[in-house]
Structure 1
């Protein structure tokens, strides 16, 4: 397994953390930063529970050590590679190691932070306090993008960070106390790496902290519960345009067209253009096309193509899917 593959597995790991390895990694990270090891190490079942614990911590924790423990070592490793490889070499190295992993991990980190703020802040005025607390966190397994680009061997400056990342989730380093969070118990993503699940939480932790999403869009958990009983009327009545689009995707545009009494707006030899008018949102335009090459059983399969709302003819819509204008689209045979 390559280093790149290994760190992708770390970022997506679920299940109970390896506590002894994680705690040893925390102590090593302190020592590599020239710091005294923390007097106490505590575990939380999720980043939310860790933040709640720290927000209510009655005993002094001392100042945050995130800059010394995490920021400086990572900056030093990046600068070392940048100096050795040069600007172009570093860019190529980053693209080959952590760049695409960062693209999928950064939105997940933002979603976790937003979920914690929503759960803990008593109101808008209290949000800055929680956000500052979250800035103290080292991201554990979600530091994988950076760590995949570096040497993380025993003698490296980031060896402790790497050891914690392989064994646990987020953690908070303070002078007197370190708090380590468990990894999630569930993580569900779509092919693009976005949080995605239609029948439960897309991300869940042992204490019940969970995030629900459909193809990356945050949705309430109770919203997903009603997807199995949708009707065209219920879809039309949904006032939130983003949630209505989720409903349509789950229900199926073709099924919605068939059951909502929609009428075709244009028909030609390439197919049939349908349009769904949605209150407070742009129209949904679909072209119905029939595969002229029969299936093995002799039937012809119907396909539905989502096209821009401004589409005026079926030919224009089919041409758009090929990146062409209507006047340039003239297939010898449709397949």
Structure 2
């Protein structure tokens, strides 16, 4: 096999395996999974385990906790509460990362993985939030009746599988009395086996981990498509089914506007708004406009944690509020709050049947001033857009970040301002703007930050995102941004130069840095703010765009924190 690619035959093989995977995943079969596990165990020289099935990860966690720390009730050796479970002999077979032959070139693994990933993506529901919510709802249920039903069903399934009929009732009572312990829960959550990543598994099977058997007959292809989270104990395997419902948005993130994004057969579910975990009541039936706009952060946190569990909303009350507003709809929020426009209504030049109006939103929505333009009437009735807070004319505001793009002024080198112009920049995580406008990275910063040009049109604002969840707007175009950065860089150097007892060599180096920045200012014909008042006016102008350019972590659904001084 060539060292930098996979063959056409390999691709056809992966396509066939992917089809088999999708067929099994569309109709999970517990018997198929059990047969696959039995074969795997025998191949490892072990007797097949007793497999006990549960309808959800929440039920599985109840059973895993009971089996791990009440094992003597079930005539099994319990696990020590202070130590994680030892690696199970099956772990090396059931984890795809360990299946690749040791001498397989990395570029071949990457090629096989990429080919498989495009055919069968990883199950989006199998991430952190589902398991975290399963633990929280087991320990601190927002619906005690549902939690009690799940607990009772889980302990019944466990005792029915492991004990004779005359001992089951007493055992269930004993297991229900096991003390809740934080350290023990870490053991249970740390020992869970998560659903397999299809691309990793198919790539591993293709590249030689299947032994002499036909690829399509590998037991892992029977197990993985129909299995949720699972726990392997000595002689017992606790298995859970995949969810019965999974809903995603256009980006493939967990999302649903009128119910849970993930739901399991026993009713355990997780609500998410574009990947951000939400309290169920904020999704269905949804919070009112007044509750969203005027509740204090403390009230938002209290209400969210009443449904999600204590400690689950530590610093993201703003995100919960924002997502609840997006779910309600900005135009509807304006209407239900009875807000009066600050400008307009004005005839919409794009549609004679509609008008445009500007509104100031209540400050608690973003924790700082924000402004919205709303279209009323016509086929685009209700379409809205966050705009700069100093926008004063509805038509111009509606066209913000749009229009024909002029030739971009782009200097060759601004390294003196700690900006490195690059192609193919990758930020530490995927991000997007709240309004969905174009976001083009054009430079990086030494500590892992990224500079972006926002939107389209003749002037594109510059947004800086650091590597720790902070961002700031630097100017309405690149020239303004460089002028602000130049002023801040010079001020920083001059402060360093005024330090008492500064070493002469250090002073000379700082003086040279100042000269380099001043040369860059002259070369680029920049006009940095020269007084504190002018500097504050520039910062305020940039801050006026901050809510309209809110930066969102795509995979997590959280907003970056706006900071005037991030660098």
Q: Select which of 12, 15, 30 maps to 2:41.
A: 30
Which entry has the higher C-alpha Rg, 1 or 2?
2
Aligned to 2:319: 242
Between the aligned partners of 2:101 and 2:331, the Cα distance in structure 1 is 54
Q: Select which of 67, 89, 95 maps to 2:114.
A: 95
Change (3 A) 1:232 1:48: closer
Between the aligned partners of 2:252 and 2:24, the Cα distance in structure 1 is 15
Between the aligned partners of 1:22 and 1:102, the Cα distance in structure 2 is 20
Aligned to 1:306: 385
Would the aligned equivalents of 1:7 and 1:147 in 2 still touch at CA under 8 Å? no
- 1:23 Cα deviation from its structure 2 partner: 1.0
| 1:169 and 2:191 correspond | no
User: Residue 138 of structure 1: SS of its match in structure 2?
Assistant: coil
1:131-150 matches, cutoff 5 A: 131-140=186-195, 142-150=196-204
Unaligned runs of 5+ in 1: 292-298, 329-335
RMSD (Å), alpha carbons: 3.9
Q: Select which of 332, 336, 341 maps to 1:263.
A: 341
Q: Which has the higher contact order (CA 8 A, sep 6+)?
A: 1
User: Residue 60 of structure 1: SS of its match in structure 2?
Assistant: coil
Between the aligned partners of 2:321 and 2:127, the Cα distance in structure 1 is 26
User: Residue 41 of structure 1: SS of its match in structure 2?
Assistant: strand
User: Residue 150 of structure 1: SS of its match in structure 2?
Assistant: helix
Would the aligned equivalents of 1:108 and 1:195 in 2 still touch at CA under 8 Å? no
Residue-pair matches, total: 309
- 1:100 Cα deviation from its structure 2 partner: 9.4
TM norm structure 1 = 0.73
Between the aligned partners of 2:381 and 2:231, the Cα distance in structure 1 is 55
Would the aligned equivalents of 1:40 and 1:177 in 2 still touch at CA under 8 Å? yes
Between the aligned partners of 2:77 and 2:339, the Cα distance in structure 1 is 64
Q: Select which of 256, 276, 283 maps to 1:224.
A: 283
User: Residue 191 of structure 1: SS of its match in structure 2?
Assistant: coil
Unaligned runs of 5+ in 2: 1-14, 80-84, 142-179, 301-317, 350-355, 404-454, 461-567
- 1:40 Cα deviation from its structure 2 partner: 2.0
1:1-335 matches, cutoff 5 A: 3-4=17-18, 7=21, 13=26, 17-32=28-43, 34-57=44-67, 58=71, 59-60=75-76, 68-71=89-92, 74-79=96-101, 83-84=103-104, 86-98=105-117, 105=124, 108-121=126-139, 126-140=181-195, 142-151=196-205, 154=213, 159-227=218-286, 231-239=288-296, 240=300, 241-259=318-336, 260-265=338-343, 272-279=357-364, 281=366, 282-288=368-374, 301-302=380-381, 304-307=383-386, 309=388, 312=391, 315=396, 318-321=399-402, 323-324=455-456, 327=459
Between the aligned partners of 1:38 and 1:114, the Cα distance in structure 2 is 30
- 1:31 Cα deviation from its structure 2 partner: 3.0
User: Residue 334 of structure 2: SS of its match in structure 1?
Assistant: helix
Would the aligned equivalents of 2:50 and 2:237 in 1 still touch at CA under 8 Å? yes
